[in-house]
């Protein structure tokens, strides 16, 4: 277990710069998730921590030791790859024992560690099998077992669940979280699935195009996104954004007046973007008139796509909505939960 | 227009003649499709092989008939010092040349598997020795090994002054044997290197990364990841290489014709020499047939010892 600091880390492949100075602090025993759209540099950052890519600028420290020039095997980290990278010619037992064997551990020690990992991950009946005789979820567990056996300071996961089907993913999500609670280890986990990030992380790092957009606890990012990108990235269905102006203590867009969040200052006439999450819209007689375009019942919620004035809006209601496309419903946002962003910079205003 | 076409086909079907119905018969169809292939195999493979084996048990000579003589040819070969020497030479030639080809070919393949600049051009160049017809390269080696004009002797004697006299490459037995082995290695490397390179490229780079994180040194990565994963393709390539080398004829025949004093004779060249220029077809055939057990043994060895890997077969083992 160790503390990891990434300070102004930069990475370029040839002339193209991929990471533009990323700084993240990972506390001892913390579960940190890197999220961001595809190609934003999450895997690259993880591989730099592992030592599989060199560091073009800045520094990375693990447990207080700067590791820029430390080869991977001396960093005391374990990584679970997206494709698991199990050795196909070794049994599950040998896969898990490999690192200990190289480190010169005794037979007894190896067996003890392997058995312990197998018990934690429920792999005991599979120890004699080869990777190709395992299902995707079992392979995933072996890959984690290989990491656990080493008892490293830091675990790195690169999208370990992306090859699994939806049901298994939910199950493995719970298992990884439980594993973390049990081992109390430092975990850095990459995903582009924001639900994974929200459900598992102690702290989420949202990245875009090689920059950190915001770092914070899951609910902090959900409640107070620092900018429009984070607001749109976290939460599903995604936040609605309306472009308009503030006038007379209300927000005007597409011919409708929206109530402002309580804390909003009196920037009269300013061009802003108004953000409201679908689940923060309420059915409210006497509210804004919205023309229903599409209704999607999901069972627990009803998603309604509607037009308010000229703006299109997604709402998610707990109650069932009887309206049919073309009909009008009356809705209001919960103003306390609305967000205002600068139209130019995208930064949060309230 | 498009609609009319299927309708036409549908209407024609009930009127299909006997021939068309015959082709609907599965047994007939199987026989009809197999006949050309089997015919070719019989005419060009089974018949010559069968005839060769038959000849080995006769005392046939060129221009004359022959009679069945049982295993007399083999008995006399067993007491023939030239034949016994040839068997030793063939095994020696195969063993040393194969070892050389694999050592150098694997080394080249490992180099090429790293991202080198111009690697595709280098790969194409490496294939050259294989593309050049054997006899052409044999003639080139003939010059390289020439007692007077050899470029190797020229460099060593006239340029570097390391030796006092030209090397007589092909005139003394061991020089000649190793010269031929060198030529064979040169010709064989591309096949081994390119095949093994193909095998190396199927190994996922993330396995090496995982091994690196597991603490493996470069040698350990080769020993525990590359080698076992390459073994199946290595076995196949090894089998082919042994077969080709063991039955080599062209290179030896073009460079030394088995000389000096039969010290570079291989079984294939000896079989030819006894059978065609020597006229003793029966004896030549017997030498050729004597190669079969060696070839079968080496094939079986690499099949059983090297290529069967449990991790590839995916059998259920509880
Ligand atoms: N070896 C490389 N050479 C050049 N460019 C690279 C290399 N590896 C990655 N890149 C580039 O770096 C950027 C970040 O890649 P990275 O793999 O870190 O993305 P990611 O955030 O993990 O995306 P994903 O969610 O799709 O896995 C991409 O634009 C990619 O094209
Ligand atoms: Mg990635």
Ligand nearest to the CA of A205: 1
Which residue of B209, B224, B317 is in closest CB contact with A128?
B317
Protein residue with its CA nearest to atom 14 in ligand 1: A41
Q: Taking residues B111-133, what's their average pLDDT? A: 82
Q: Give residue B256's pLDDT.
A: 86
What is the per-residue pLDDT for B311? 67
Query: What is the C-alpha separation between A195 and A173, in angstroms, rounded?
Result: 10
pLDDT > 90: what percent of chain B?
25
Residue B102 backbone class (left: φ over 0; alpha: ψ -120 to 50; beta: rest): alpha
Give distance in angstroms: CA of A41 to centre of ligand 1.
5
- Contact, B59 vs B67, CB < 8 A? yes
Indicate if the pLDDT at residue B9 is higher than 70.
no
Q: What is the pLDDT of residue A194?
A: 85
What is the average pLDDT across B19-47?
A: 89
Contact A197, A216 (CB under 8 A): no
Question: Which of B207, B214, B230 is the mutation pick for testing A, counting most A CBs within 10 A?
Answer: B214
Query: Cβ B210–A85 below 8 Å, yes or no?
Result: yes
Chain A environment of B211 (Cβ under 8 Å): 87, 98
- Put simply, whether A104 touches B (Cβ < 8 Å) is no
Residue A137 binned pLDDT confidence (cut-offs 50, 70, 90): confident
Using one digit for the tens of pLDDT, what is the confidence trace for B220-242? 999 999 999 998 888 888 888 99
pLDDT confidence of A42, banded at 50, 70, 90? very high
A148 vs chain B: nearest CA distance in angstroms?
Answer: 12
Phi (first) and psi of residue B246, to 5 degrees: -60, -40
The structure tokens 């921590």 sit at: A49
Burial class of residue B137 (count of CB atoms within 10 Å of its CB; 0-12, 13-18, 19+): buried
User: Does the pLDDT of residue A26 top 50, yes or no?
Assistant: yes
Out of A9, A11, A15, A18, mutate this one to test ligand 1's pocket (max ligand atoms within 8 Å of CB): namely A18
pLDDT tops 90 at residue A316: yes
Atom 5 of ligand 1: nearest residue by CA position: A13
The C-alpha of B216 sits at a distance from chain A's nearest C-alpha, in angstroms, of 7
What does the pLDDT read at residue A265? 58
- Is 70 exceeded by the pLDDT of residue B2? no
C-alpha B184/C-alpha B98 separation (Å) is: 9
- What are B66-90's pLDDT values in tens digits? 788 888 888 888 888 999 999 999 9
Instruction: Indicate if the pLDDT at residue A11 is higher than 90.
Output: yes
Q: What is the pLDDT of residue A43?
A: 92
Ligand 1 binding site (Cβ under 6 Å of any ligand atom): A 13, 18, 36, 38-44, 192
pLDDT in tens, A54-96: 999 999 999 989 999 999 888 989 999 988 999 999 999 999 9
pLDDT digits (tens, 9 = 90+) for A169-221: 888 888 889 889 988 899 999 998 888 899 999 999 999 999 999 999 999 99
Chain A residue with the nearest C-alpha to that of B210: A85
- List, for residues A216-265, the tens digit of each pLDDT value: 999 999 999 999 999 999 988 899 999 988 888 888 888 888 888 876 65
Residue B125 binned pLDDT confidence (cut-offs 50, 70, 90): confident
Q: What is the mean pLDDT of residues A110-124?
A: 89
pLDDT at B77: 87
Cβ contact, residue pair A73, B224, below 8 Å: no
User: How much is the mean pLDDT over chain B?
Assistant: 84
Ligand nearest to the CA of A81: 2
d(CA A296, CA A326) in angstroms, rounded, equals 14
Query: With 0-12 CB in 10 A as exposed, 13-18 as middle and 19+ as buried, what is A252?
Result: middle
- pLDDT score at B133: 85
Task: Summarize the confidence of residues B84-106 as an average pLDDT.
Answer: 93
* Predicted local confidence at residue A280, as pLDDT: 94
Q: What is the CATH number of domain B80-309?
A: 1.10.3720.10
pLDDT at B1: 43
The pairing of strands A211-216 and A302-308 is unpaired
- Range of weakest confidence among B136-145, B168-177, B302-311: B302-311
Does residue B310 register a pLDDT over 70? no
Q: Is the pLDDT of residue B140 over 90?
A: no
pLDDT in tens, B253-263: 888 887 788 88
At B317 the pLDDT is 40
The minimum-distance atom of ligand 1 relative to the CA of A82 is 27
Which of the two residues, A349 and A264, has the higher pLDDT score? A349
Could you please report the per-residue DSSP string of A238-295? PPEEEEEEEETTEEEETTEEEEPPTT----TT-EEEEEE-GGGEEEEEEEEEEEEEEE
Candidates B215, B222, B233, B318, partner chain A, best to mutate (most A CBs within 10 A): B215
| Chain A residues touching residue B310 (CB < 8 angstroms) | 130
Q: Does B227 touch chain A (CB under 8 A)?
A: no
A78: nearest CB among B213, B220, B311: B213
d(CA B114, CA B201): 10
Distance CA A307, CA A222 (A): 25
The whole-number average pLDDT for the span A302-314 is: 90
Interface test with B, best of A89, A92, A114 (most B CBs within 10 A): A89
Which residue's alpha carbon is nearest to atom 7 within ligand 1?
Answer: A13
**What pLDDT is recorded for position A320?**
87
How far is residue B71's CA from residue A74's CA, in Å, rounded to a whole number? Answer: 69
- Percent above pLDDT 70 for chain B: 91
- Closest residue by CA, ligand 1 atom 18: A41
3-class DSSP state of A77: strand
Burial of A225 (0-12, 13-18, 19+ CB in 10 A): buried
**What percentage of chain A carries pLDDT values higher than 70?**
98
Does residue A327 surpass a pLDDT of 70?
A: yes
Q: What is the pLDDT of residue A214?
A: 94
* B chain contacts of residue A132, beta-carbon cutoff 8 Å: 311-312, 314
Say if CB A88 and CB A131 are below 8 A apart: yes
Q: Taking CB atoms and an 8 Å limit, are B211 and A98 in contact across chains?
A: yes
User: In chain A, which residue's Cα lies nearest the Cα of B230?
Assistant: A89
Across residues A296-318, what is the average pLDDT? 91
Checking if the pLDDT of A108 tops 70, the result is yes
Q: Which residue has the higher pLDDT, B101 or B130?
A: B101
What was the pLDDT predicted at A97?
93
Closest ligand by atom to A40 CA: 1
Of B207, B213, B309, the CB nearest to A79: B213
Direct distance between the N- and C-terminal alpha carbons of chain B, in angstroms, rounded to an integer: 61
The reply to whether ipTM tops 0.85 is no
Chain mean pLDDT for chain A: 90
What pTM was estimated for this model as a whole? 0.79
Nearest ligand to residue A47 Cα: 1
Q: In this model, does residue A45 exceed pLDDT 70?
A: yes
When pLDDT is cut at 50, 70 and 90, the band that residue B314 belongs to is: very low
Contact B311 A88 (CB under 8 A): yes
CA-angle at A233, arms to A227 and A236, nearest 5°: 125
* Per-residue pLDDT at B16: 66
Report the pLDDT value the prediction gives residue A96, as an integer from 0 to 100: 93
H/E element holding A13? Answer: strand A4-13
Q: Using alpha carbons only, what angle is made at residue A224 by residues A213 and A42, rounded to the nearest 5 degrees?
A: 25
Contact at CB, B207 and A85, closer than 8 angstroms: yes
């Amino acid at each position: 277990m160790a503390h990891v600091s990434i300070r102004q880390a930069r990475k370029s492949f040839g002339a193209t710069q991929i990471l533009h100075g990323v700084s993240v602090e990972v506390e001892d025993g913390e579960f940190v998730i890197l999220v961001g759209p595809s190609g934003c540099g999450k895997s690259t950052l993880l591989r730099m921590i592992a030592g599989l890519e060199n560091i073009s600028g800045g520094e990375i420290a693990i447990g207080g030791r700067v590791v820029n020039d430390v080869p991977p095997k001396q960093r005391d980290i374990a990584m679970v790859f997206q494709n698991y990278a199990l050795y196909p010619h070794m049994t599950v037992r040998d896969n898990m024992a490999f690192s200990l064997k190289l480190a010169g551990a005794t037979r007894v020690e190896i067996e003890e560690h392997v058995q312990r990992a197998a018990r934690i991950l429920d792999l005991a009946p599979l120890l004699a099998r080869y990777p190709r005789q395992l299902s995707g979820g079992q392979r995933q567990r072996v890959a984690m077992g290989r990491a656990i056996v080493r008892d490293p300071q830091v675990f790195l996961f690169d999208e370990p669940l992306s090859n699994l089907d939806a049901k298994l993913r939910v199950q493995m999500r719970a298992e990884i979280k439980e594993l973390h609670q049990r081992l109390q280890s430092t975990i850095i986990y990459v995903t582009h699935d924001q639900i994974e990030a929200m459900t598992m992380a102690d702290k989420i790092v949202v990245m875009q195009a090689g920059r950190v957009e915001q770092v914070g606890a899951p609910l902090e990012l959900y409640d107070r996104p620092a900018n429009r990108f984070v607001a749109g990235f976290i939460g599903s269905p995604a936040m609605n954004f309306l472009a308009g102006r503030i006038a007379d203590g209300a927000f005007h867009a597409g011919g409708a007046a929206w109530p402002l969040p309580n804390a909003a200052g009196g920037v009269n006439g300013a061009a802003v973007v108004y953000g409201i999450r679908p689940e923060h819209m309420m059915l409210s007689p006497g509210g804004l008139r919205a023309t229903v375009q599409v209704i999607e019942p999901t069972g627990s919620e009803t998603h309604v796509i509607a037009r308010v004035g000229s703006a299109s809006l997604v709402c998610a209601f707990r109650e069932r909505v009887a309206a049919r496309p073309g009909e009008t419903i009356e809705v209001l946002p919960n103003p306390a939960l609305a967000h205002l962003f600068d139209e130019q910079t995208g930064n949060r205003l309230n | 227009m498009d609609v009319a076409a299927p309708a036409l086909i549908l209407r024609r079907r009930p009127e299909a003649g006997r021939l068309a119905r015959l082709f609907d018969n599965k047994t007939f169809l199987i026989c009809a499709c197999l006949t050309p292939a089997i015919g070719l195999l019989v005419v060009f493979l089974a018949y010559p092989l069968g005839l060769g084996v038959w000849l080995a048990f006769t005392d046939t000579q060129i221009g004359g008939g022959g009679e069945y003589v049982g295993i007399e040819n083999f008995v006399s070969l067993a007491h023939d010092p030239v034949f016994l020497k040839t068997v030793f030479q063939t095994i020696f030639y195969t063993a040393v040349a194969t070892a050389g080809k694999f050592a150098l070919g694997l080394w080249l393949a490992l180099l090429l598997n790293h991202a080198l600049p111009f690697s595709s051009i280098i790969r194409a160049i490496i294939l050259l020795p294989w593309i050049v017809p054997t006899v052409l390269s044999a003639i080139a080696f003939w010059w390289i090994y020439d007692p007077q004009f050899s470029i190797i002797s020229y460099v060593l004697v006239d340029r570097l002054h390391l030796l006092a006299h030209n090397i007589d490459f092909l005139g003394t037995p061991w020089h000649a044997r190793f010269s031929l082995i060198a030529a064979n290695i040169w010709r064989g490397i591309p096949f081994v290197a390119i095949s093994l390179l193909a095998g190396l490229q199927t190994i996922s780079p993330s396995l090496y990364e995982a091994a690196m994180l597991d603490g493996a040194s470069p040698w350990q990565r080769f020993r525990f990841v590359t080698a076992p994963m390459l073994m199946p393709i290595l076995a196949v390539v090894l089998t082919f290489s042994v077969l080709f080398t063991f039955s080599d004829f062209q290179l030896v025949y073009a460079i030394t014709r088995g000389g000096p004093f039969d010290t570079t004779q291989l079984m294939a060249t000896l079989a030819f020499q006894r059978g065609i220029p020597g006229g003793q077809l029966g004896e030549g055939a017997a030498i050729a047939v004597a190669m079969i057990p060696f070839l079968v043994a080496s094939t079986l060895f690499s099949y059983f010892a090297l290529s069967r890997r449990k991790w590839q077969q995916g059998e259920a083992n509880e």
